[in-house]
Amino acid sequence: MVAVTGLYDRAASRWRELQADICAALEAVDGRARFSSERWERPGGGGGVSRVLEDGEVFEKAGVNWSDVEGELPEDFAAQLPGSGRRFRATGVSLVLHPRSPMAPTTHANFRFLEKGDAAWFGGGADLTPYYVWREDAEHFHRTLAAACDAHAPVGDYPRFKRWCDEYFFLKHRGETRGVGGIFFDYVGRAPGLAKATDADLEAAFAMASACGAAFVPAYVPIVERRRAEPYGDVERRWQLVRRGRYVEFNLVDDRGTTFGLKTGGRIESILMSLPPLVRWDHDVQPPGPRERELVDILRAPVDWLGPSTRPR
Amino acid sequence: MVAVTGLYDRAASRWRELQADICAALEAVDGRARFSSERWERPGGGGGVSRVLEDGEVFEKAGVNWSDVEGELPEDFAAQLPGSGRRFRATGVSLVLHPRSPMAPTTHANFRFLEKGDAAWFGGGADLTPYYVWREDAEHFHRTLAAACDAHAPVGDYPRFKRWCDEYFFLKHRGETRGVGGIFFDYVGRAPGLAKATDADLEAAFAMASACGAAFVPAYVPIVERRRAEPYGDVERRWQLVRRGRYVEFNLVDDRGTTFGLKTGGRIESILMSLPPLVRWDHDVQPPGPRERELVDILRAPVDWLGPSTRPR
C-alpha cells in the first residue's frame, strides 16, 4: 500500500513496545496486581494482544490493548476516510486506566497508524478525566504532552491538538467535556493531500506520535503517585461512580471508535475494556459540594491549562 | 391534525392515569419508598411529569415518566416516520424498574400515541429482563400480555408483537436479546396506509394499547412478589450488576428512543431514568454457574413461552 518501506511494521513494533513499557510502569505503580495477557485473532484478518489488570491496589481496572488488523471496511465507513478503496491495515496501542481512588484521575491514550489504499496516517492522543481537580495535575499532564509535541514541531502542534481534544471528548447531551483534556490528533502524515504524503512527512508523523506515546507515562504516573494516598470517603467515592457514568455515556454514545467497533464486529471484550468497573446512575445528581461543582464548571468551559499563549492561532 | 375528535387528549389522560395507577401499585409492593413527582417543561413545546423512586425496600430504582410534547422533528428523523411534514405531537407513559434483588427481574414498559401531519398511531410494549430465569415467571408475563392482546384481536396480535419484541430488544454486538421478551408494537392504527387510518381503526388501537397498559401491573407485580424474598449472595448480586451493564449497552447503543432523545435535545434526566442504579463492567465475564449459563442460553435463542401454537403465521 504505502510507499515508506517497512513503516507499517515499524509502527506495529513500536506500539507493541509501548504496550510493554506502559504495563511495566503501571505494575510498578500498583505494586500488587499484574497484567494478564491474552492473544486474540480477528476473523477478518490480524489480531492483537489485550492486557488487563483488575482489582489492584491503585488500579481498579486497567486495560492496555495492542492490535494489528487488516481487512475490508464497510462501504459507508470507507467513504468517510481518506484513501482509495475499502482495504485497510491498522495498528495501534490503546489504554484506559480506572484508579480505585476518586482522588486519582481516569485516563485514556491511543496511538495508531492506518493504511487505506493510497493513503496512510497517524492518529492518537491522551486525555485526563479527574473526579476532583488539582490544577497542578492538569498543568503537568498538558505540559508533558506539549513538550513532546514541541520537540516535533511543526508536525507536533500542541495548541491545535489540545483544542481538538476538547472538541472530540465532548458529551453533547451533557454539554460537558469528558475531562480536563490533553491532546488528540488524526490524519497526520497528510501533506497536503493524504494520498500525496511524502516519506519524510510520514516519518516525521511517526516520530511525533511515538514521542507522544513515550510521554504518556511521565505525564500520568506522577499524578497518580501524588493522589493515591489522598484521603476520601463515601461522598467522594459516590461522586466518582456517578461521574464514571458520564465516561460510559461518552464511550457508548459519542465515541466513534467504540460505536464503529461495536457495529462492525470488532472484538467486544477488547473494545469495552474501556468501561469502568463499577458505575452509578442516580436520578438528577447535583454536585454535593464546592470541589465537585468546580469540576463541573471546568468541564463546561475548557481551560487553557498552559496559558493563553498556547491558544491556537 | 388527526380526525378522531379528542383522541389525543383522551390518550394523554389515559397515560397519566396509568402512571398514577402503576406508581400506586409499585409503592404498595415496595412498602417503604415513595415516588417523587417532578413536572418539567420542554423548551420546544409541552412537558411531562417524571416520577422516581430510589433506594426502596424492593426497588433500587424505579422511574415512571409521563409526557405530552409537541414541536418540529429534525428533517432526517421526520423522513423516517409516517405522515406529512415535520410537526408532531406525542404523548406516552414509559417506565423502567430495577429491583434490588437479582432474583427479581428488571422490566420496562411504554405506551404512546403520536400524531404527525396527516398520520396518527399507537406504539408500545412491555418486556422482562431477569437475571435468573424462572420459566413460570416468563410464562406468566407473556400469558397476561397475550390475554390483553387477544381481547382486542385482530388489532392486538400477540404472536406478531412477541416476535417484534425479540427483534427490537436485541443487542447486536452481544448476539443476545435484552431479556425474555414480552410484546412490542408500533404504527398501530394504520389501515391500510397510516394516513388513511379510519376513526374506528384508531379507536381500536387505543383500546388495545390501553388494555396492554392495564395488563402491566398484573403481568409484573406477581413476579416481583414471588421473588423478592428469594435468598441470594455476592455471586448473584455481582451477576446482576454485570448483566445490568448489558441493559446500559442496549439503551445507549441500540435503543432508538434513547439515542434519538439524547441527540435531539430531549430531557436528559428523564431519558436516562432507565439506566440501572449500580452497574459493573468486568473483563470477559463468564457465567459463574449453570443458572447463569441458562440465562445466557435463553437470550441467544428466544423461547416461545406460550408454546409453538403462538408462533406468528
Per-residue pLDDT, B267: 86
B1 within domain boundaries:
no
Q: At what angle do helices B7-30 and B199-227 cross, to 10 degrees?
A: 10
Q: What is the distance between the alpha carbons of residues B91 and B88, in angstroms, rounded to a whole number?
A: 10
Q: Going residue by residue through chain A (313 aa), what tens digit of pLDDT does each one get?
A: 555 669 999 999 999 999 999 999 999 999 999 999 999 998 888 999 999 999 999 999 999 999 999 988 888 888 888 888 999 999 999 999 999 999 999 999 999 999 988 889 999 999 999 999 999 999 999 999 999 999 999 999 999 999 999 999 999 999 999 999 999 999 998 644 565 677 888 999 999 999 999 999 999 999 999 999 999 999 999 999 999 999 999 999 999 888 777 776 678 999 999 999 999 999 999 999 999 999 999 999 999 999 876 655 4
pLDDT at B197 over 80: no
B191 within domain boundaries:
yes
B226 within domain boundaries:
yes
Q: Which residues lie across from B183 on neighbouring strands? A: B126
Per-residue pLDDT, B256: 84
B208-255 per-position pLDDT tens digit: 999 999 999 999 999 999 999 999 999 999 999 999 999 999 999 999
Containing structural domain, residue B38: 7-310
Residue B245 contacts A where some CB pair is shorter than 8 Å: yes
Where do the H-state alpha helices sit in chain A?
7-30, 75-78, 135-150, 158-168, 199-227, 234-249, 256-263, 268-271, 290-300
- State the smallest CA–CA distance between residue B157 and chain A in angstroms: 31
B242 within domain boundaries:
yes
The x, y and z cell numbers of residue B102, run together, are 437479582
**Facing residue for A253 by CB, picked from B262, B280, B283:** B262
pLDDT band at B193 (very low <50, low <70, confident <90, very high): low
Q: Verify whether the Cβ–Cβ distance A280 to B279 is below 8 Å.
A: yes
All residues of chain A having their beta carbon less than 8 Å from the beta carbon of residue B275 are 245, 281
Q: Verify whether the Cβ–Cβ distance B282 to A54 is below 8 Å.
A: yes
Q: What is the distance between the alpha carbons of residues B58 and B55, in angstroms, rounded to a whole number?
A: 8
Query: Domain tally for chain A?
Result: 1
Q: Verify whether the Cβ–Cβ distance B174 to A263 is below 8 Å.
A: no
B279 within domain boundaries:
yes
A2 within domain boundaries:
no
A35 within domain boundaries:
yes
| Residue written as grid cell 494482544 | A49
B200 within domain boundaries:
yes
ipTM of the modeled complex: 0.93
Residue B54 contacts A where some CB pair is shorter than 8 Å: yes
Where do the H-state alpha helices sit in B228-275?
234-249, 256-263, 268-271
Whether B269 contacts B282, CB under 8 Å: no
For chain A, positions 88-127, list CB contacts with chain B under 8 A. Answer: none
Residue A174 contacts B where some CB pair is shorter than 8 Å: yes
Secondary structure (DSSP) of A141-199 = HHHHHHHHHHTTTTTS-HHHHHHHHHHHSEETTTTEESSSEEEEEEEET-SSSGGG--H
pLDDT at B203 over 70: yes
All residues of chain B having their beta carbon less than 8 Å from the beta carbon of residue A53 are none
Residue A63 contacts B where some CB pair is shorter than 8 Å: yes
The answer for residues whose C-beta is within 8 angstroms of residue B238's C-beta and 6 or more apart is: B280
Per-residue pLDDT, B164: 97
State the virtual CA torsion across A129, A132, A136, A140 in degrees, nearest 10: -20
B154-163 per-position pLDDT tens digit: 999 999 999 9
Region B62-80: what's the mean pLDDT?
91
B263-297 per-position pLDDT tens digit: 766 789 999 999 999 999 999 999 999 999 999 99
Task: Give Cα A184 distance to the centre of its chain.
Answer: 8
Average pLDDT, chain B: 93
| Residue written as grid cell 470477559 | B284
Per-residue pLDDT, A311: 53
Indicate the DSSP class of residue B79.
H
**Facing residue for A273 by CB, picked from B248, B259, B283:** B283
Q: What is the distance between the alpha carbons of residues B20 and B26, in angstroms, rounded to a whole number?
A: 10
Q: Which of B244, B64, B272, B238 is nearest to B171 (CA)?
A: B244
Secondary structure (DSSP) of B212-241 = HHHHHHHHHHHHHHHHTT----HHHHHHHH
- State the smallest CA–CA distance between residue A217 and chain B in angstroms: 23
Q: pTM for the full model?
A: 0.94
CATH assignment of the domain containing A190: 3.40.1500.10
**Facing residue for B252 by CB, picked from A174, A253, A269:** A253
All residues of chain B having their beta carbon less than 8 Å from the beta carbon of residue A96 are none
pLDDT at B192 over 60: no
